[in-house]
């Protein structure tokens, strides 16, 4: 059932990423926890590498957690402007992926 992939390659730059490099961390918020516990949605949210594609994310989730992925939705989040006295800067931008799993599969984080 689990596919054995050694690495994922992005077509635009030839960057090779291992599955643990594609998936950086789960996003733990009220909304993401509600989506993961709802049997109709069965969706999990992850912070992913900014250059990873939907196919790479799907393969990485299937390899790391041994589940079946139905759909992947991605979103690139821009950094927000922040100020500290006279210094002006931005928080870092990041890429978010919402992964919908097969109705029989679940991921347990805690």
To 5 degrees, how large is the angle CA 100–CA 48–CA 77? 95
Predicted confidence (pLDDT) per residue in 36-45, tens digit: 999 999 999 9
Percent of the chain with pLDDT over 70: 87
Predicted confidence (pLDDT) per residue in 63-98, tens digit: 999 999 999 999 999 999 999 999 999 999 999 999
Q: Look at residues 71, 68, 66 and name the one whose alpha carbon lies nearest to residue 97.
A: 71
Q: Is pTM, for the whole model, over 0.75?
A: yes
Hey, what CATH topology would domain 18-101 get? Answer: Alpha-Beta Plaits (3.30.70)
Contacts of 24 (CB under 8 A, 6+ apart): 46, 47, 48, 49
């Amino acid at each position: 059932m689990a596919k054995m992939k050694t690495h994922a390659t992005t077509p635009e730059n030839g960057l090779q990423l291992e599955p643990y490099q594609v998936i950086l961390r789960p996003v733990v918020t009220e909304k993401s926890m509600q989506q993961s516990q709802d049997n109709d949605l069965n969706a999990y949210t992850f912070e992913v590498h900014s250059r990873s594609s939907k196919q790479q994310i799907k393969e990485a989730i299937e390899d790391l957690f041994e589940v079946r992925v139905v759909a992947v939705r991605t979103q690139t989040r821009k950094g927000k402007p922040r100020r500290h006295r006279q210094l002006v800067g931005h928080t870092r931008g990041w890429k978010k992926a919402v992964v919908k799993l097969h109705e029989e599969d679940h991921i347990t984080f805690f």
